[in-house]
Chain A
Amino acid sequence: MLKLIISHEARQIARTGALWAILALLVGAIVFAAWSGGRSINRQVEGAQAAETFEDGLRNHMRKETEDYEAKVIAEGGEYQFASVRHSPGSGPPQGTNAGAVGAETSKYVTLPPTGLAALSVGQSDIQLNYLPVSMATTLDVTKNLELENPVNLATGSFDIAFVVIFLLPIFILAMSYDLLSSEKERGTLAMILAHPISIRELMASKIISRAAVLLTVVLGFGIIALLTVGTGLDTADTWVRFGLWMIATLLYSMFWFALAVLVNVYGKNSASNGTVLAGIWLILVVIVPQLVSMLATTIYPAPSRMELTIAAREAQTEAEKNFMAKLDEYYYDHLEFVPEGDEKAMDFLTLAQANNNSIEKAVRPLYDNFQAQLNKQEELVQRFQYVSPAIMMQLALNEVSGTSANRYEHFLNQVYVFHDDWKEYFGTKFLQRYPLKPADYEDFPAFSYEEEPFTAVMARLMPSLLGMLILFLSVVLVPFLALRNYQVAAR
């Protein structure tokens, strides 16, 4: 009996022109989203490569000069010397022997590698660059290309597949089921059907199953197509596990919207009012509530703007330049062991620049840390309030699954800070020691390789969102399920 109604429903759905139109729209949106997401990730990867190639080129050039210089020293005899800026260009040791020059004038690009699904949910990576230049400059300089924005702004998110799933998929689901029962009522066919030995629950179950089948086909089909077109690392288990989680999240999210349509149909009056109510709920849950939560986060935990940070940096710089002698003393105070003997305090440009940077870093770092702390608090608040809207839970879940969450980014940043310190330490020390860099030393420069967080950490952050959606679904579905027991066909 179920089978009969299900195939009947499938035929009804197939003969509904509007659904084909929405489906076409969805297909178009997904194709565009896949293209745009793929492009966004490609741009990042290419940008990272180009930047890295450029900087490596600079360093290689310096290395080449030191090699030539070394060969010359060996051939002609003499001492392998450290290039100080006093040397006039063209003569003497090349800049490549000066650790300060190498460490400050070339950067090492550090990259957060995208997961296989990154293109499906661009998430944070659109506003937070996945590759950063680490040099002896200040932390602020390292992160200066970051758009330090509200971490969870659904509305300004880029047009990726996550956007289509969060915003448009519910519309397809609601279009398919907003008049699930009401249309039968209005058409008068409900009484015709229920005069036959079918319970209303069976009828509803068949209707839901047929639509769920359509939906499953659409979601799975599109999901796999999206993965195959813009996903990467398809040969790794990681990508497929992530894809499986993506599908679970999408199904939970879809089931919620379904259950909502059923709920409204059981209590609703006519198709028109059902449609209005559901559209209203969509607007509230998908557009308004996420905005409010995000506003709440930025209001309770305001983060200083990028502008304020820049101004603070400027002030620190001016301050430093005003009494650079004091700063220099301070710098040497920080690196006591390297204070040159006698009165040989290096007055060269690089040392001063380092002294400057150090003082700016000291002045700005608390501000910057505060800034990051505020961002973290905002993120925490959003995570705590995610349960008020399935759209927020879904966004967080998809970002998490795709490796574009704020948390993974923070994990990356923390490694960058450590690496930044290593870099400054390595080159700063060698510079102060006036140690002349040899070509062989180029092999030993600090190297960065992102250490992925354990998958359990990802799951631990993902679970609350998934469970939240599951519980929301169950609570929404339970009500109509119980209510259908006493459904009065002829009730007015």
Chain B
Amino acid sequence: MLEAIQLKKTYGDYDALKGLDLKVEPGDIYCLLGANGAGKTTTINLFLNFINPTSGTAKVCGIDVTAQPLETKKLLAYIPEQVMLYGNLTALENLRYFARLGGHDYTQAEYQAFLERCGLQSGAYAQRVRQFSKGMRQKVGVAIALAKQAKALLLDEPTSGLDPKASNEFSELLIQLKGEGASILMATHDLFRAKQTGTRIGIMREGRMMQELGTEDVSHADIERIYLEHMHGDAGRYAA
């Protein structure tokens, strides 16, 4: 479970996050929507303890991330917008290294199974990842997350730039993980996929949660309309 309680983050005199409340239950895929600069990445970074909150608390499975960062990181998996790997190591070597960092080790066959499950072509397993396309790297990133057997996933625009097929496979993987009881928080700009894959949607603006929806209750068109309504107020913001 992921929980944000009155989470605030201030950079200098700029409030990036203005008291965010958020809860992602096991079996939830929570999609964070919002314009660029809304504070989605900031939220995810706070859960990862990459930055310290100005005030408020972020909890993973009930554990405060600032108090016990190493404990909470055992429970988390993270897939950034750009999965970055060691270019001079192969896909398998990268996977193995990160898996072991997470405290797991598997057989070579199991590692290959992870990569296969993420849809990486088998010819690439033993290749150095330096020449990998973004999509291929994302797939290794997903394999790393799988190998970690995390209770909660933090995904920051994980599918941006993936081809539709890969994107689709990714969504299916998420749904599988959801079925296994993971709590998934995903920042995305893809309203369509949010509706399709997500169980809940949160629309953020300027560091605030504007509205939360269950994807069951609304149509694609509704989501788009509500989203744009919230963004609309933005039009005047920089004009002055």
A residues in contact (CB < 8 Å) with B: 1, 4-5, 8, 11-12, 15, 187-189, 191-199, 486, 488-491
B residues in contact (CB < 8 Å) with A: 41, 45, 48, 50-52, 69-71, 73-74, 76-78, 80, 82-89, 97-98, 100-103, 141, 144, 148, 154
Q: How far is the CA of A195 from the CA of B101 in the complex (A)?
A: 10
Contact of A196 (CB < 8 Å), options: B50, B71, B73, B86: B73
* Residues of chain B contacted by A197 (CB below 8 angstroms): 70-71, 73-74, 101-103
* Residues of chain B contacted by A189 (CB below 8 angstroms): 84-86
Given contacts A187-B84, A189-B85, contact A194 B48 (CB under 8 A): yes
Q: How far is the CA of A137 from the CA of B10 in the complex (A)?
A: 83
Contact A490 B50 (CB under 8 A): yes
Contact A491 B101 (CB under 8 A): no
Apart from A195-B154, A196-B98, 13 more pairs, CB < 8 Å:
A4-B101, A188-B84, A191-B80, A191-B84, A192-B78, A192-B80, A194-B50, A195-B48, A197-B101, A489-B50, A489-B51, A490-B41, A490-B51
Contact B80 A187 (CB under 8 A): no
* Residues of chain A contacted by B70 (CB below 8 angstroms): 197-199
Q: How far is the CA of A199 from the CA of B69 in the complex (A)?
A: 8
Q: How far is the CA of A196 from the CA of B144 in the complex (A)?
A: 11
Contact B69 A188 (CB under 8 A): no
Contact of A195 (CB < 8 Å), options: B52, B73, B103: B73
* Residues of chain A contacted by B80 (CB below 8 angstroms): 188, 191-192
6 A-B pairs with the lowest CB-CB distances in the bound complex, closest first: A188-B84, A195-B78, A489-B50, A196-B101, A490-B50, A197-B73
* Residues of chain A contacted by B148 (CB below 8 angstroms): 196
* Residues of chain B contacted by A491 (CB below 8 angstroms): 51
Contact of A15 (CB < 8 Å), options: B74, B88, B100, B103: B88
User: In whole Å, how far is B230's beta carbon from the nearest beta carbon of chain A?
Assistant: 25
* Residues of chain A contacted by B89 (CB below 8 angstroms): 11
* Residues of chain A contacted by B87 (CB below 8 angstroms): 187
User: In whole Å, how far is B231's beta carbon from the nearest beta carbon of chain A?
Assistant: 25
* Residues of chain B contacted by A195 (CB below 8 angstroms): 48, 73, 76-78, 154
Contact A192 B73 (CB under 8 A): no
Contact B48 A12 (CB under 8 A): no
Looking across the interface, which residue of chain B has its beta carbon closest to that of A187?
A: B84
Looking across the interface, which residue of chain A has its beta carbon closest to that of B154?
A: A195
Contact of B98 (CB < 8 Å), options: A192, A199, A489: A192
* Residues of chain B contacted by A11 (CB below 8 angstroms): 89
